[in-house]
Structure formats: C-alpha cells, structure tokens
Amino acid sequence: MPTEFLFLGVAIVVVLFIVILLFKLVWRVAEPNEALIISGLAARTKNEFADSLGFKIVTGKGTAVLPGFQTARRLRLDSRAANLQVSCVTQQGIPVQVRGVVIYKVGDDFVSIANAARRFLDQQDSMNDAIHELFTGHLRSIIGNLTVEDLILNRERLTSETRSSAADEMSKLGLVVDSMQIQEIDDETGYILNLGKPHAAKVAAAARIAEAQRDQEATEAEQVAAAKKAAAIRESQIQQSGYQAEVDQAAAKARQAGPLSDATARQEVVVQETKAAELEAQLAEQRLQSQVRKPADAKAYETVTLSQAERDARIAQAEAEARETELRAAAQASQVKQAAAAEAESVRLRGEAEAAATRATGLSEAEASKARGLAEAEAAKAKGLAEAEAIRARSEALAENQEAVIAQQLAENWPQIVEAGSKAFGNVDHMVVLNGAQGIEEMLAKALTLGGTGLGLARSLLAGGNGLGIGANGTEPVTGNGAEPVTKNVIDAAS
C-alpha cells in the first residue's frame, strides 16, 4: 500500500512537470516594449482589422502558440535614433551640409504595428537606413526653398516642415517621429561665417569703445589721484619748510648765544684793560707807548672781528625773521583773498536782492503814483464841474433875484467893507470929538452906512437895464446875465 502511494505521487509530479514544460513551450508573453506577431493556423486578431490581417498581434499580455502549427516573432516597439547628414543647396545656390537626428519608433496601434511588421519584421536593423533616406530627400526638398538666413534663424520651421512632409510616408511604414532636431549647419563657402562677421565686428567695436571709455575713466581717476597726491606733497613740503624755518631760526639763535656771551665777556675785559692801559699811559705815556700801542691794536682788531661776527649773526637772524614774515604775509594774503571773494559774493547777492527790492518798490510806487494821478485828475474834474455848476447857479440866481444875490455878496464881504471904511481913521494922528460919546456913535454910524450906500449904488446900477454897462471903476463891462463883474464893481464902489 505505501509503495502504491509512492508511485502515485511520483506519477503526479511527473505529470505536473510535463504540463509545466508543455505550458512553457506553448505560452508566449509580450514585453512592454515589444509586440508578438503570430502567424500560422488560426492566427487571427479579434478586432476590426481581423479580416485584413493574416496574423495575430499581441501586446502587453501572453498567448498560446502551438509549436509546429504557429510561429511567434517579436517586433521591438522601443525608440530608435537615426543620424542625418545631408548635403544640399539652398535657394541662394549655396551648398550646405545639415546634420541632425531623428528619434522614432513603431506606432502603438495595431495598424502601425501591422504596417511595420510587414516591412521590417525580419529587417528591423535596416529601419535607420530607411529613415535616413526618407528624411534626406525631404530635407533636400525643403532646404532648396529656404535661404541660409532662414536655416540659421528659424530651424523650428525646417524641422516642422520636414516632419509634416514625411508624416504620410511614416504612417505607411507604421512609424511615428518622437523628435527631430537639426544639430548643425555647415557651408564650404564660408557664407555663414561671413554673415556673423558684421555683428562680430560691431560687438568688437562696442567692446573696444567700452574698453577705451574704461581706460579713459581709469586715466582720469589716476590723474585726479596724482593731482591730489601732488597737492598733498606740496602741502607737506610747505609745512616742512615752515617747520624747518622755525628749526633754523632756533638753531641760529642758539648759535648766536655763545658768540654773544663771549663777545660780552671779552668786551668787559677790553674795557677793563683799556682803563688799565689808560692809567698806565697816563703814568708813563712816553716810556710805555710802544708796549701799549701794540696791545691796543691787537685788541682793536679782535674787537672788529667780534663786531663783524655779531653783525653776521644779526643778519642771519634778520633773514630768518624776514622769511617768517614773508610766510605769515602769504598766509594772511590768502586769507584776505578768500575773505574778499566771500565778501564780493555776499555783496553781489545783496546787490541782486536790493535791485529786486528796488525794482519791486519802483513798480509799486509807479502804480501808486498812477493811481494818485488818476484820483487827483478825477477830483480836479469833479471840482471844476462843481465850480462850473456853482457859477451857473449864481448866474441863474442873479438873473432871477438880483437884490438877494447882492445882499448875500455884501453880507459875505461886510467885514472887509467895514475894515476898508475904517482905514480912513487909521491915518489920523489926533482926533477931537466935540460932542463926546454921541459924536463917536455918529461917526461910527456914518462909517457903517457906507455899506448901505454901496447897496443902493449896486441896486441902481442893476436897475439901469439889461444892456451893456460900464462898471464903477470904468474897466469891466456889465452884462445882464453875469453876476461876478457886477458884484465886484459894487464892492469896489463901496470901498
């Protein structure tokens, strides 16, 4: 019994192994980048193209292939690259050489796979040659209608037109273009190189101009720096010269101190010796003349030499002081010059401000004078019109009521009339009144009645008529409508 189970188990294992082996031999699986092309007995694709296809296409799955009755071959669906190198002539007749690359593959649909399988199933390695020849022809045709400038500036147009013109033929071959790139365009005549030379020359000229400008700016900066450096050196040398002058002056003073002290000491010695010599000369002038004269001459020579040294020292000191005075005067002159320039600028600004103020004041005064003139003219005009109106009114009043006008005129001028009548008493030195106070009253009453007499005279003159008349003074005519001459004559007659 155990032996039977053992044989049964072994038989089952053998059967399973045979089944697996047979399955491996029959079953085919298509990889993601390939398609299985199965031909033979009952090899038909179950789709709309089943009637037109004499083989079965399997992608992305497995299928059983009957050995001896069916054959399964693989068609690669991955991308391929074909290098292009085309020699052609442009529209301008310029020969060019174009290099590019085309990336293509077999289409994923059954129609493209079937078309590619019929043409390249056993010649898949020759696809690149076919693509090269296909695109070479189209590139020559398209480049023949373009200029070199179009090829350089618009490569996208070249690639798009090439892909469009080859699309139908690629569809018939079952292929699709993933990408097409024009890598390089060369010409043997140097036309492309010459096209770039004007722009390159322009860029080079701009670069040279920019470089020259930078050099000029650098040179200007260097010159400015050199000028500042020279100015700093000059200022330093001036300060050093001033310091050196002070040092020299101090040294001269120090050098003069020793000789001056020695000269002073020797001078005292000479004075004492001279006094002694004088005393000795007084005591024995004749006996010691020769002995005293020689020492005196020697001392005199020594004194002259010391005096000359002292003079030289004073000259050196004076020169140092003159140099210091000159430097101080130059500094003061510079300060005065700067102050004068500042004062001149201030005066100019104040002059401009005062001129502007004067101009504005003149304009305002001119406007005010103009306004005052206009106002005075209007006032004079109004006054003249008023006086004319007053004269006309008096004339009308005189014509209508002569007595009232004359009375008014006499009343207005009565103080002058009385004053004129009283002048007769002004020339009397001594007057005797016989009848006392009554006589004075009568005399004054007679003086006052002169006005009444004048009023009667004026009334009689006016009553004479409306014709022409002679005034009381015999000079002015009297008119019937005029008031002023009559009044004036009446006043004169009354006076």
Instruction: Tell the residue number behind the tokens 């006008």, with chain if given.
Output: 405
Provide the whole-model pTM.
Answer: 0.38
Q: Is 56 left (phi over 0), alpha (psi -120 to 50) or beta?
A: beta
CB 167 within 8 A of CB 134: no
pLDDT 10s digits, 399-442? 666 666 676 776 777 677 767 766 666 666 666 666 666 666 66
The top-scoring range by mean pLDDT among 15-24, 29-38, 81-90, 297-306 is 81-90
pLDDT at 246: 85
Q: How confident is the model at residue 494 (pLDDT cuts 50, 70, 90)?
A: very low
Of residues 402 and 371, more confidence is placed in: 371
Residue-wise DSSP of 236-272: HHHHHHHHHHHHHHHHHHHHHHHHHHHHHHHHHHHHH
pLDDT at 487: 38
Has residue 466 got a pLDDT over 60? no
Has residue 254 got a pLDDT over 70? yes
Q: Tell me which H or E stretch contains 298.
A: helix 289-400
Has residue 455 got a pLDDT over 50? yes
Has residue 61 got a pLDDT over 80? yes
CA 14/CA 487 separation, integer angstroms = 181
Of residues 37 and 289, more confidence is placed in: 37
CB 66 within 8 A of CB 43: no
Torsion of CA 487, 489, 491, 493, to 10 degrees: -150
pLDDT at 403: 66
Of residues 475 and 244, more confidence is placed in: 244
CB 459 within 8 A of CB 406: yes
Residues 6 or more apart whose CB falls under 8 angstroms from that of 486 comprise: 398, 406, 458, 461, 462, 471, 478
Has residue 103 got a pLDDT over 90? yes
Burial of 282 (0-12, 13-18, 19+ CB in 10 A): exposed
Among candidate residues 118, 105, 45, 114, the one with its CA nearest the CA of residue 76: 105
CA 62/CA 29 separation, integer angstroms = 4
Q: What share of the chain has pLDDT > 70, as a percent?
A: 76
pLDDT 10s digits, 164-189? 989 999 999 899 999 998 888 888 88
Query: How large is the average pLDDT for residues 87-104?
Result: 91
CB 486 within 8 A of CB 458: yes
CA 331/CA 350 separation, integer angstroms = 28
The top-scoring range by mean pLDDT among 166-180, 302-316, 365-379, 474-488 is 166-180
pLDDT at 122: 83
181 DSSP assignment: E
pLDDT at 176: 92
Q: Is 40 helix (H, G, I), strand (E, B) or coil?
A: strand
Query: How large is the average pLDDT for residues 368-389?
Result: 81
Query: How large is the average pLDDT for residues 216-239?
Result: 89
